[in-house]
Each structure stands twice: as C-alpha cells, then as structure tokens.
Structure 1
Amino acid sequence: MATDRLLPLKRTLGLVESTSSISRISKVPNELRRLKKEAYSPQIVSIGPYHHGKGNLPDMEKHKLQYVLHLLHRTTTPVETLDDCGQAIQNLVQRVRGCYAEDIRRSVENKLLQILVVDGCFIFEMFYRRAFPPETNLNDPIANNAWMVSSLEHDLVLLENQIPFFILVKLYDIFQERLNIPPEHSLTSLALSFFHLEMDDMQKGMSTEPNHLLDLLHKVWLPRSDMGQSGSETRGFDRCASELIEAGIQFEKNESRHLLDIEFDPNDGVIKIPPLSIDAAESLLRNFIALEQCDISTRTFHISSYALMMRSLIRSSVDVKLLQQKGIIISDLELGGSDWIAIDGVCKNVVFSERFFFNKLCTDVREYRASRFHWQRQKAIWTVSCHRYLAELKRDYFSNPWKIIAFLAALALLILTGLGTGYTVRSYYNGSSELENVL
C-alpha cells in the first residue's frame, strides 16, 4: 500500500516510467485567467474532467446523452456498439490520465470512463450532423438555438475543456464502418468542417496527430512557410499603424484564409494582413497563447508572436479605426476603442521566448522606412500629406454652413481683389504706353 501511495512521487522523480512524458492538457495559469476569466471557462458544456459538474454546466448533460443515444441508434446494434466504445476507451484510461497536467483521480474517481465515452460520442455526433445534416432539426434543442451553437463552438476550443484526440480517433474507427462514412471524410476533415474550415494539401498530410481539438486548430493556423524566427530583441514594429502610414508604408487586406500569412513587399511598401474579427477570435487567440505557454510539445510561439506583433501595430483606437477602414480589423464597434483594449489585453502576462516569428517582416519594414530615395515611399508620403491637408481644410472651413459661406465670401473677396489689382496694373501699363506714344 505504501508503495502505491508513493507511485506519483516516483514518477515525478523519474524512478518509474510514466504513462505520458508530457502533460498535454493543462490548466490555464492564474496570471492569464484573472485578466479575462470568461475567455477560458466553458459557457454551457463541460468536456473532459476539469469542469465536469461545475456551475450550470450539468444542465447540458441531458442534451449530451440525447446526442449519444442518437449516435448509437444510427447503428444496427446500439447496445453492442456502446459496449465496444466502453471497452476500447477502458483500455486507454491510464494513458488518458497521463495526458492531464493535474491529478484527476480524486476529482472524478470512477467517472472518467463515462465522461470520456459520453463526451467523445457527443462530439462525434455533432461532427456527424454538421457533415451530414438531417432532413429536419425540429427535435434538436441545440441546432435550433443559434446562441447555443455559437457557445458550443466556443467551449470546444478551450484549453481546459478537452479530451485527448486519440479518444476521438478510437470512436471514429468504431463508427466509420457502422455508419458507412466515406473514406474522404476523415476525423480531421469532420472536425475542421464543424469549425467552418477546410483541409488543404498540407493538412491532409499532417505528420503528427494533434493532442486535442484546440491543438488541431492551432496546427491549422500555423503559417505555410518560415517567417524568419530570430533570437534578437525584436518584438514587433517600432512604429504603430498610424505612424507607419505617415512614414509612407501602406496597408492592404490579404485575402489569404490563414491568419498568419502576413506579407511585406519592399518594392511598393505595402503590408498585407489577413482580416481579423476581434469578437470571434479573441477567446481563441487567448487559448492558443495559453496552449503555447503551457504545452512545450507545441514547440512553437507563432500565435504569441502574432499577438505581440499586432499589439505593436495597434496602440490606440486611431490605429484600430485605420485598420478597420482597410478591412483588416472586422468589428461591430465604430470607434474601435474596445478592440484596442482587447488586443492589448491578449498579450498581458505572456512570457515570450526568444523565438519571435515575424522578425524578418519587422526588419524589412524598418529598413524600408529608413530609405530616403525610394520613390514609391515618397509618393505615399505625399499622398498622405495631401489627404491630411484636405481633411484639415474640410474640418476648418466646411464643417458647417456658416463656415462654408464665410469661406466662399473670403474666396470671392480674394478673387475680386486679385481682379482689381490686375485691372489696376493693366491700366497703369496701358497709360504708360499711351504716354510714350504721345512723346
């Protein structure tokens, strides 16, 4: 008995082989959680052991069981199928325990198997319904509620609300043949389709299996090419968006669907950035960053680098409004003040490694800004200056009808004065010519 009680200590000390060398599903650090608790906590549904039975989340359990029942009845032998699911997952329970950063044995005790079966089948049924929609959703309390669907998509990508991906793989193997799922509908494609994403050629050949759903989306969001990582002190742009505009650097929306596909062309001085919806992406960005901070197996700080770069670019509501006009920032807010606060808050209390993945981009922009004889940059500066002067003219002289009348009166007076002066000069020269003719 004493030996069994010391088993966790022995595993910690490396004296016995652990079921998992790396904890892949972590708790969000308190330093990040206290900044915006709702960005890391499930709204309506718990997945996995961390939030099981907390708050009002048990209210969703009856809907989860209903989905599980629908999934089982899609097969010809529902009881046998459930037994097969239970047996397959039972063989993986010890491996599952090693995937969580905290000891979950006391919190769920003997419930872990049931949690994995119910949550896994519930997720798979949601994926199946999205890929193969039923003819009617009249009896579906989830599909008929737009808020619930949005909340579910939010909850399924929280770092603390995950089950290991290999559990979903095992369930997919069981149901694929029994539901006649076409081979082209892999588990990965079903998952991405649920989150309104499509697989490209690189994702089809994904070399490593994701650890969980959040890790899958993280892999999808990674850039298609190397962005020039560096161990230098570079941590973003040294000027914000409005200052870069004044320096002759332009911004355009990149039509790429990959958020990290940010480009800079030194020939025309244009930074192309894919659009970012703050309202839709803030929580996901926060959980991606928490994943990178807590799970060293990701071996990447791409999202952390992206957030830091955007934070250096957006330092006030003026910058947000400028990027909104370019179609880069998408928001329902007109002035962008809350968006600036949201972007600024994403990077707080985040520990960045030396691997900043936009170093080359930021260096190229800085060198372009320092060039004095680039005609495209000078043209952009002149254009910005003209727009500013026209805006000041409109503000100072055309902001109300009385100012317009006063401006037109002053302009008319100036024209009349000029005409009078011209007439006087002309009369003087004509008089001089006549005098010379007389003499």
Structure 2
Amino acid sequence: MGEPTGSCSIDIQRLAADLETKLCNVDLDGGRRWRRSPECLISKVKPQVRRVDDSQYTPQVVLVGAYHHKPLDSTDQLAKWTALRRVLPDDGEQRASTLRRCLEAIAGVEDEARSYYEDGAKTWRENQMFVQMLLLDAWFVLDIFNVGGEAAAAVGSRGGSAVDYIFAVRDVFYLLENQIPFFILEKVYELVRVGNSGQDQDQRTQTCTSPPPPQPPGATAIAGGGPSSSSTVVVDGFLRHLRSLLQDQGYSNVEVDITSTRPCHLVHLLHMHFTPMAMSPADDTDDAAAVPNRRARATVYRWRGATQYHAAGVRFKKRALGAAAGDARCVLDVELRRLTTLHVPTLTVDNNTWRVLRNLMALEQNNPHLGSHVTAYCLFVSQLAGTASDVALLARKGVVVHFMATDEDVADGFAGLCRGVALDVDDARRNYLQPTWERMERWYSSRPVNWMALLRRRHLSNPLVAIALLAAITGLVCEVVQAVYAVKTYRPTI
C-alpha cells in the first residue's frame, strides 16, 4: 500500500465525529432530528404470524404504549389516573408544579421515545397527548409492580388481587406490542418518586453529544449516578419480579449482566434471560466420529418426532435447571451427550407458554441482530412434540410437564408454534441447534440403526411376537450351550 498523499495523514476518527455532529443537525420528517437507532424496537407483529392466533399478541387488561392505548379520558383509564394521583402531593399548587416539571422533562425526550417504536408512533399525531400517555402509562407500570417500594409488597397491597397480578404479568412482561421504552420507565420513576428532574445530568435530552463517560454498574445516563441511582432501582425492581417468574416456571436461571446491555423494553429484558450456554463439541468428538454415516448432511432441516428418535435408539433425559456444572441455565440448553442421549430441560406448558415463546420469536424476527436462539428452540420443540404420542413420550421422560386437558391439546400448541416464522437454518451462527440436529440426523439415517428400528417396529412392537422371538432365541442359545458342553465332555471309547 502506498503512503497517503498530502502534507499530513487524515484523522478518520475526528472526521467521522465531525460528520456525525453535522448529520445530527439535519432535519428529517418535519423537523425531527436524526438519532442513533435503539438496539431493538417496539413493533407490530408481522401479519402472517398474527393471523395464526391474534390473542397471543393482544393485551386484554393492562393496555400501555403506543399501539394498544385507549383514549386518555375513557373510564378504562381510571386506574392509571388513580395511580398517578396517589403519588402526587396533596397541595394543589405543588401538584401542578410537579406535573409541569414531569411533562417538560418527558417532552424533552419525546423524539427519542418515538424512535423506540418501529413506526415512530405515527398514530399519536398530537405531541401533547403522546407525552401525557408516556407519563400515565409508565407510572402505571411502575406502580403495578411496586418498583422502588418494599420488596414484599405486591399488587394485593395496592387494592388488587393475585389474578390482577397474573394479568399484569401476561400483558406487560410477555407482549411485544404492549411496551413502554425502558428509559422512559427510568425517567418517570426519577421524576415522580425521586422528585429530581436530573436535567443537568440527563444526556438523553441533548440531540448530539460526545459519548458519555463509563457508568458504574447498573447506572445509566439518565440517572447519572452510582449504584444507588434511580436507574438501578428500576432495573432491580423489574428483575426481581422477572427472575421469580422465570425460576418458578422453570424457564430460566440466567443472571443477566445489565451493565453490558441495557434493556430497551420489558420484553427485551425477558429475551435477555433466554440465552443458551456455549456448548463445546469437544467432549463428544470421539462419539461423533463413530456415528455410522451414509451421507454427509441431510438436504432438509427438519427434526424428527420424539417417537421416531426413540425407535432409533435415542434416549431422552430431562436436564436440571441450576448453577451446578452440567446443569442448564435456561430451557434453550439442549445438549446431545454420548451420541444417543438427548438432555433437554423440562418445559412447563400452561396457558402462557405459547404467548411467551411467540412474542420472543416476534422480537427476534423484527430485530434480527438479537439472534435467533428462541426461534431455533421453538422450531426444535414444535417438530419434536408435534403429535400426541410424541408429547406422551416426552411427558413420561419428564421433558414436558403440562396442565392441559389432553396430550393432543399440547401437541396442537407445539405444532402451530412456528407457523409464519422464518429461520435461516443453514446459518449455524443463528441456529445454535444445527450441530446437534446434524449429529442426530446422521445417527437416524445410518443403515444399522434403520435395520434395528425396522425390526423393532415390525416384530417387537407386538408383545406376543416379542415373547415368542425371545423364547426362540433363548432356546437357540440353550441348544448351542448344550452342544458346546457335549463337545467338551465327549470321551471316545477305546
């Protein structure tokens, strides 16, 4: 490469910084300025996915955010007004002053809040109504889960019930479309609970700034403080609820590092707990080499049913969820050991299981850079447990635990889980289960395994035939033993 021309070299870093500063001053869409895109967006579920089951993506009780919000003056919004009124000062003048301060601060980050919605929240044409919605909805979510309050307090202490809490969890934690940007939750908590607007520290209200200095663990640019900042309180408050839910359901035991990746919204925070461990194939290299192989790779990526794998000699074993060596950290940690033993974390199936998995897949489909771990797992379980006999087998092995009326109901849920969903199965970087599938497919497709499976299906499936065959083999072995014994004890007569 030749030397750069001119009297001095070009400072690319400074040039890029200057160019970015100028781009920030360019007006787009009627005066709104360009900003960095959030890591992931609050978006509408794709129509081809929603058509499968609209109820899995639509909130029923707690409606928040730009997509499912009802008119602010409707009777259904009374609970939100009550929650905000309860925390504001009783004195009318102080209350008005607090409201003005809150609304001014949120108006300063309105453009950024809109950037978290895929369509820019275009249905909210009036800026004043959008800002008011953010304040009401954000505080309502904080109030429902008592963020910043006593750890033991629950919805019941606020006049609700356990059922109310279940509905709130379903609508707020699980539904992609029903979200408020997480930084707005932090901002509103700081404004309402702490009573400090933090305008001197708030970097979000500045259109273009230099990169903020490194923050202490758990802190954000909004809080601008150390571990005791309001941001840490908000994150810890939601994590407390979410970790309890995931551990009770057996979904995840992952410890999320909030300091490295900040959540964009609550479903993003949920997705951060569904991260499979990096599985090294080194432990089973020798086993993999011993697999009888007729073809290097199958042409169609499709998992077999559990009963098909079982007939080919594959064993299913439930994998414990925990922190010990060999334990799974979340339900995605599927691992093939000793060539034919598939260790699968137990999946508890209830009314919310499909809702959780479908919305996490929708998040990945709309934000490809987040990965496709949940989508790959859903493709695996939907094909592994697509029939009632598959579900019955996995239930006996402890891999599936369900509370549905019949195995057929569970199988129907699994079979329709991935309808309308796309996955690049040939990209191992996005499909973490592809190596496991390839090894199992080589085993399943091998000629000796097929012979044994055919023998088992045709002859050993009938108990009477199996008993007769066993008796015949036993008789043949006895005759051989007697013949050998007779040869050894034979003494010719002289």
Percentage identity across aligned positions? Answer: 25
Indicate if the aligned counterparts of 2:70 and 2:77 stay in contact, CA closer than 8 A.
Answer: no
Task: Select the residue among 237, 246, 256 that pairs with 2:311.
Answer: 246
Alignment-mate amino acid for residue 99 of structure 1: Y
Task: Select the residue among 301, 304, 315 that pairs with 2:372.
Answer: 301
Indicate if the aligned counterparts of 1:222 and 1:302 stay in contact, CA closer than 8 A.
Answer: yes
Shift of the alpha carbon at 1:173? 3.9
| Structure-2-length-normalised TM-score | 0.64
Task: Select the residue among 78, 84, 87 that pairs with 1:68.
Answer: 84
Deviations 1:32-56 (A, max 9, x none): 11111111111012111211117x9
Shift of the alpha carbon at 1:264? 1.5
Structure 2 match to 1:111: 129
Q: Which has the higher contact order (CA 8 A, sep 6+)?
A: 1
| Alignment CA distance shift 1:367-1:113 (3 Å) | same
Alignment-mate amino acid for residue 136 of structure 2: V
Shift of the alpha carbon at 1:114? 0.9
Structure 1 unmatched ranges of 5 or more: 1-9, 395-439
How far apart, CA to CA, are the structure 2 residues paired with 1:102 and 1:205? 27
How far apart, CA to CA, are the structure 2 residues paired with 1:258 and 1:345? 22
- The answer as to 2:357 corresponding to 1:285 is yes
Deviations 1:339-363 (A, max 9, x none): 1111121211112234322011212
Structure 1 match to 2:169: 153
| Alignment CA distance shift 1:193-1:71 (3 Å) | farther
How far apart, CA to CA, are the structure 2 residues paired with 1:78 and 1:27? 36
How far apart, CA to CA, are the structure 2 residues paired with 1:39 and 1:57? 27
How far apart, CA to CA, are the structure 1 residues paired with 2:312 and 2:461? 13
Structure 2 match to 1:349: 420
| Alignment CA distance shift 1:382-1:258 (3 Å) | farther
- The answer as to 2:69 corresponding to 1:52 is yes
Deviations 1:83-127 (A, max 9, x none): 443333221101112221224344352311111111111111223
| Alignment CA distance shift 1:121-1:40 (3 Å) | same
How far apart, CA to CA, are the structure 2 residues paired with 1:332 and 1:236? 27
| Alignment CA distance shift 1:120-1:384 (3 Å) | farther
Structure 2 match to 1:122: 140
Task: Select the residue among 101, 105, 110 that pairs with 1:93.
Answer: 110
Alignment-mate amino acid for residue 163 of structure 2: W
Shift of the alpha carbon at 1:297? 4.2
Q: Rg: which structure is higher?
A: 1
How far apart, CA to CA, are the structure 2 residues paired with 1:201 and 1:163? 24
2:336 partner SS: strand
1:357 partner SS: coil
1:271 partner SS: strand
2:273 partner SS: helix
Structure 1 match to 2:332: 260
Alignment-mate amino acid for residue 127 of structure 1: F
Indicate if the aligned counterparts of 1:42 and 1:161 stay in contact, CA closer than 8 A.
Answer: yes
Structure 1 match to 2:235: 188
1:264 partner SS: strand
Structure 1 match to 2:270: 217
Q: RMSD of aligned C-alpha atoms?
A: 4.2
- The answer as to 2:386 corresponding to 1:315 is yes
Structure 1 match to 2:343: 271
Deviations 1:34-79 (A, max 9, x none): 111111111012111211117x9955421222222334469xx766
- The answer as to 2:55 corresponding to 1:38 is yes
| Structure-1-length-normalised TM-score | 0.71
Shift of the alpha carbon at 1:369? 4.1
Indicate if the aligned counterparts of 2:148 and 2:233 stay in contact, CA closer than 8 A.
Answer: no
Shift of the alpha carbon at 1:208? 1.7
2:317 partner SS: strand
- The answer as to 2:301 corresponding to 1:235 is yes
Equivalent pairs, count = 372
Shift of the alpha carbon at 1:19? 3.3
How far apart, CA to CA, are the structure 1 residues paired with 2:347 and 2:460? 25
Structure in which a larger fraction of residues adopt helix: 1
